[in-house]
Amino acid sequence: MRTWMRWTLIAGLAVWIGVGLLAAQQKKKEPEKLLFPSKFGNVTFLHAKHTEREKGDCTVCHDKLWPQDAKAPLNYREGMHKVAEAKKISCGACHVAGGKAFASVGNCNKCHAKPGAKG
Ligand code: HEC
Ligand code: HEC
Ligand code: HEC
């Protein structure tokens, strides 16, 4: 009986630590916005607004599309976004014809700050 209790205690403690670590990981503070510099005109990514639209669900993007690291590659520029749209990766997972948001074609200005940028 005493061994049983001891093991229950140890198992309970392990679960408690596990849940604590998981919570700590999810609590990594999200940025309000991120700036992606580009020769075609810098892109401001409204991070908090994007999360809000996904009802606070971080897993829509992390780590499926990107790790929680602004220094990690975005993998979006190849073929000026057409490759990402075809593969439904990076911003192209949503920003694609028939997707959740506007596709790149004809909408360069909605992301790139350079006035008069079009494609
Ligand atoms: C719509 C997609 C999306 C959602 C939803 C999202 N993120 Fe992000 N997040 C990104 C992108 C894009 C980056 C930058 C990745 C890169 O540069 O490779 C990022 C980066 C980050 C970073 C790193 C910031 C830095 O300065 O290094 C943290 C921390 C982060 N996100 C936390 C969160 C948290 C917490 C949530 C949920 C509350 C969340 N994210 C939801 C897209 C998203
Ligand atoms: C999970 C889906 C999703 C991903 C991934 C995503 N977006 Fe969006 N984005 C949206 C939605 C939804 C809108 C608003 C709908 C619309 O205007 O078509 C939006 C709107 C925007 C806007 C207009 C300003 C705003 O936030 O309202 C910009 C700029 C933008 N996204 C840039 C990006 C960039 C850059 C990336 C990749 C780093 C990205 N998005 C990835 C869903 C996404
Ligand atoms: C949904 C937002 C979004 C739209 C729409 C968009 N872009 Fe981009 N673009 C980006 C982001 C973010 C980057 C930076 C990519 C990276 O770092 O991997 C980028 C990078 C680029 C680059 C590379 C620039 C450099 O300095 O290496 C070019 C060229 C480009 N875009 C052209 C276009 C053209 C042309 C259009 C319209 C047909 C367009 N973009 C539409 C977000 C967007």
Q: Where residue 102 sits, what CATH number does that domain have?
A: 3.90.10
With beta carbons less than 8 A apart as the criterion, state whether 92 and 20 touch: no
Let me know whether 39 and 53 are in one domain. yes
Residue 23 alpha carbon to ligand 2 centre in Å: 27
Is there a single domain that holds both residue 92 and residue 35?
A: yes
Helix (H, G, I), strand (E, B) or coil at 36: strand
Ligand 2 pocket (Cβ < 6 Å) reads: 43, 45-46, 49-50, 53-54, 60-61, 65, 74, 91, 93-95, 100-102, 110-111
In this predicted model, what pLDDT tens digit does every residue of 41-90 receive, in sequence order? 999 999 999 999 999 999 999 999 999 999 999 999 999 899 999 999 99
Burial of 71 (0-12, 13-18, 19+ CB in 10 A): exposed
* Ligand with the closest atom to the CA of 82: 3
Quick check: is 119 in a domain?
A: no
Hey, how many other C-beta atoms are within 10 angstroms of the C-beta on 33? 11
Q: Is the pTM of this model over 0.85?
A: yes
Q: Is the pLDDT of residue 107 over 70?
A: yes
Asked whether residue 118 carries a pLDDT value surpassing 60, the answer given is: no
Distance between Cα 7 and ligand 1 center (Å): 39
Domain shared by 35 and 1, yes or no: no
Task: Name the residue with the closest Cα to ligand 1, atom 14.
Answer: 70
Domain holding 14, by residue range, is: 1-28
Does residue 79 sit within a domain?
yes
d(CA 40, CA 102): 18
| Predicted pLDDT at 17 | 79
Kindly state whether residues 51 and 20 are assigned to the same domain. no
Q: Verify that 55 and 106 share a domain, yes or no.
A: yes
Spatial CB neighbours of 97, under 8 Å, sequence gap ≥ 6: 85, 103, 105
What is the count of structural domains for the chain? 2
Does any domain span residue 15?
yes
* Residue 25 scores a pLDDT above 80: no
